[in-house]
Amino acid sequence: MKNLEISRNYLNIYPFVGVHPWNLKNIEGQEVEKTLDLACRSKGIGEVGLDKRYGKKSLEEQISVFKIFCEAASEKNLPMNVHALDTWRECLNIVTSYNVKNVLFHWYTGPLNLLEDIASQGYYISINPAIIIQAKHRAILEKAEVDILLTESDGPYMYRGMDLNPLKIRDLLRTMAAMKEISLEDLEKVIEENFKRFIR
């Protein structure tokens, strides 16, 4: 609610609303409906999605709720931020089945061979400062085309002793530019255009 209020005064703040799969076990059906209503009045839906670490029963409930948000994103033409840890293909299949137009796969560490399918749908992946210490995240950046890249801090969040926060984005961009062998200025322009297309 606070983010929605802040966004009314600042045009460059784009609040997204959703039910994270980690939080699903703590909320009731009515709260999902209330959150869905808020999401439909926000700039986007997320972070929503699937996470297999909570067991089969939880995953079934996650899929049900995720589909509700996908339907809303499609009907309202809202961008969606998707958590898809170890469920990358499943999430891609669901969002495409609902014809969700703009999708960001948050902190993408999925299969390299899925990047082409993500790109062919006009979807995006995000890279975050953990790239410094996470080899599979670096491998993703090396393989991905720049026109599907966005950045994120995912913070405040501690990952393997690393404090992920927005202050690390500048260094992240420098690392990305060096790895993609393009200038920092060119990378910033590409990511800005990617963001404009994603949020439109």
Kindly report the length of the chain: 200
Q: State the pLDDT at residue 95.
A: 99
* Helix, strand and coil percent figures for the chain, each rounded to 5: 60, 15, 30
The C-alpha atoms of residue 19 and residue 182 are separated, in whole angstroms, by: 37
Question: For the chain, which residues score pLDDT lower than 50?
Answer: none
Q: What's the rounded Cα separation, in Å, for the pair 144 and 53?
A: 26
In the numeric block, the tokens 């039910």 are attached to 19
pLDDT (0 to 100) of residue 156: 86
Distance (Å) of CA 146 to CA 59, 92, 112, 190 = 32, 19, 14, 7
Model-wide pTM > 0.85 = yes
Nearest in space to 123 (alpha carbons), one of 131, 136, 114:
114
Beta-carbon contacts of residue 107 (< 8 Å; ≥ 6 apart): 126, 128, 130, 137, 152, 154
> For domain 2-199, is the CATH number 3.20.20.140?
yes
Per-residue model confidence (pLDDT) at position 54: 76
What's the rounded Cα separation, in Å, for the pair 144 and 176?
Answer: 11
Domain boundaries, the chain: 2-199
